[in-house]
Amino acid sequence: MPLRPRPTPTPEQLAKIDAGDWQRAGGGCVCETCGKLYYDHPYFAEPSEFLTILCDGDLVKL
Ligand SMILES: [Zn+2]
């Protein structure tokens, strides 16, 4: 299985991270936008690698 891409947060995403604007979620949840599991979405490069980026822009910790 290929590694998921690991983008660096944009300034806008960094602001959300700094503000604690993210939620805990189960990796088995299904994305409402693309229908894939949350586990199949990209997560940030370190040091924000604990956050996964969903298609609608929401950040979740799996
Ligand atoms: Zn998605």
Which residues is 52 bridged to in the sheet?
43, 60
User: pTM of this prediction?
Assistant: 0.86
SS3 30: strand
> How many angstroms separate the alpha carbon of residue 51 from the centre of ligand 1?
14
pLDDT tens profile 41-58: 999 999 999 999 999 999
What would the two tokens of residue 31 be? 């994305």
> How many angstroms separate the alpha carbon of residue 19 from the centre of ligand 1?
23
Domain extents for the chain? 11-61
Measured CA to CA in angstroms, residue 25 lies from 1, 5, 7, 19, 38 at distances of 22, 20, 20, 18, 8
Q: Which pLDDT band holds residue 16 (cuts at 50, 70, 90)?
A: very high
> How many angstroms separate the alpha carbon of residue 48 from the centre of ligand 1?
19
> How many angstroms separate the alpha carbon of residue 4 from the centre of ligand 1?
13
Measured CA to CA, the distance from residue 38 to residue 34 in angstroms comes to: 10
